[in-house]
Amino acid sequence: MLSRKTQMFLLKVKLLKLKSQLANTKFLAKGKAIEIKITARKHQVSVESLIACLDYLDHQSFFEVDINAKNMLSMLVTANFLKITLLENYCVEFVGNNIESNSIVDISNIAFQVKNMKLMNKAYLYIRILLLYRFGQMELPENIKDSKNIAFNSPYLHNTKTSSKVSLEIFNYKSQESYIERKMFHEITPQYNLMRIDRTRAEESITGSDYPHTFKLIREHDQVQMLYAERWSDSGNFIISKSPNFPFSDDYIGVMTNNFWGHEFSIFDHGVEDKVFKKFPTGFIKARETKMNIKFETNILGESPRSLNVSLLNDETKEMIKFKNLAPKWNERTECYTLNFYGRVSRASAKNFQLVMPDDQETIYLMFGKIGTESFHLDYRSPISMYQAFCIALASLARKRVVA
């Protein structure tokens, strides 16, 4: 059995001879390259990309091919066919960073053909964003432009200009994969989890607005950022992700919506609404699930402490669990309502609270309170997940029209 290095050397010698022959127009005219074309045709390997690959083997650079997405896509197929891994990886990186609507069908087909999961995932994300934009679910980011040449007729995406198409069923693994990638944020851990939330508000504009507001969830023991959220107005949704990124990206975790009065909140995962979900082939995208509902009792004048009720879905048992805030006690000496936060909260605020179950006032499942001008401690335990705890805290920080 020849070693990999020896195999590559013999391949290089063979291809260098082939390059010399292909450069001879008489050789091509006599049809002696037919065998090469027949062998490579099913792999969509072109003579031009083959010569370019030979140049790469010779000089680690390209001389006979223009560096553009179309040619690099052809070279990707050829490099895969010839098992030139370094060149294949280079082509994948280039093509993945230069995806356009008019090329997305070809890129998807070739990514599937060469079984390159990195390029498959980039193509999937591009298609998902494009179609969600068409279904009115989001705005297009600046790096993506729609094209009238691209038509969607489930399960196929068509390029009407080139008459090519791709079945979106090749991405039927993505729905389950997206759930697994986000599982840690919905997992239940038995221990207490100590977190900090840092809020940032924009400088106040001439209209008096200090939006957008951004929020970072920091794990206390190692200072690692776990989640990120942003909101662009008093009535806007909270978009939760792993990092500052646009909705429906691979970093997108979920969304929290609120009613007009700002005292009722619904928390969803990263899926899409049912009416949109039905437009896609099975497995392409996940249907949206409700993870939690939060309701603050109206309290316009602020004559009594805030009161809130939480109903959350336990992912493990699929049961709805109810919580309520622990009522603070009136302190005659300080003439204010107080709660014992066991040293975790250092500043008084109407937003400070603790969650208990209605039939168990002794066990605290979540504590949230102010420790600085824009910093807050958030501690939680089972059966509340990280994502749910973060959203409960965000709901407390949100401005409300009917809650003081």
pLDDT in tens, 46-66: 767 777 777 777 666 554 456
- Residue 308, pLDDT > 70, answer yes
- Residue 359, pLDDT > 60, answer yes
Tell me which of 63 and 162 has the higher pLDDT.
Answer: 162
Residue appearing with tokens 């070809």: 106
Position 58 scores a pLDDT of 65
Cβ neighbours of residue 53 closer than 8 Å, sequence gap 6 or more = 15, 75, 78, 79, 82, 84, 87
- Residue 300, pLDDT > 70, answer yes
Which of 149-153, 172-176, 292-296, 298-302 shows the lowest mean pLDDT across its residues? 298-302
- Residue 178, pLDDT > 50, answer yes
Assign 31 a pLDDT band (cuts: 50, 70, 90): very low
For 220-267, what is each residue's pLDDT tens digit?
Answer: 999 999 999 999 999 999 999 998 866 667 899 999 999 999 999 999
- Residue 11, pLDDT > 80, answer no
Which of 112-121, 179-188, 248-257, 297-306 shows the lowest mean pLDDT across its residues? 297-306
Assign 6 a pLDDT band (cuts: 50, 70, 90): low
Q: Are residues 404 and 300 in contact, defined by beta-carbon separation less than 8 angstroms?
A: yes
CATH class entry, domain 4-146: alpha beta
Assign 33 a pLDDT band (cuts: 50, 70, 90): very low
CATH fold, domain 179-397, is Tubby Protein; Chain A (3.20.90)
Position 62 scores a pLDDT of 54
Assign 34 a pLDDT band (cuts: 50, 70, 90): very low
Tell me which of 399 and 63 has the higher pLDDT.
Answer: 399
Assign 288 a pLDDT band (cuts: 50, 70, 90): very high
Q: Kindly list the distances between the CA atom of residue 394 and the CA atoms of 156, 160, 234, in Å, as whole numbers in the listed order.
A: 40, 46, 12
Position 28 scores a pLDDT of 44
- Residue 22, pLDDT > 60, answer no
Q: Are residues 341 and 326 in contact, defined by beta-carbon separation less than 8 angstroms?
A: no
pTM: 0.83
Q: Are residues 84 and 91 in contact, defined by beta-carbon separation less than 8 angstroms?
A: no
- Residue 13, pLDDT > 80, answer no
Mean pLDDT, the chain, rounded, equals 86
Cβ neighbours of residue 309 closer than 8 Å, sequence gap 6 or more = 294, 295, 297, 322, 323, 324
Tell me which of 143 and 117 has the higher pLDDT.
Answer: 117
For 312-352, what is each residue's pLDDT tens digit?
Answer: 988 778 889 999 999 988 887 877 888 999 999 999 898 99
Assign 27 a pLDDT band (cuts: 50, 70, 90): very low
Position 291 scores a pLDDT of 96
| Strand stretches in 83-223, DSSP E | 150-153, 156-159, 164-167, 193-201, 213-219
CA gap 205, 212 in Å, rounded: 11
Domain boundaries along the sequence of the chain: 4-146, 179-397
CA gap 145, 164 in Å, rounded: 19
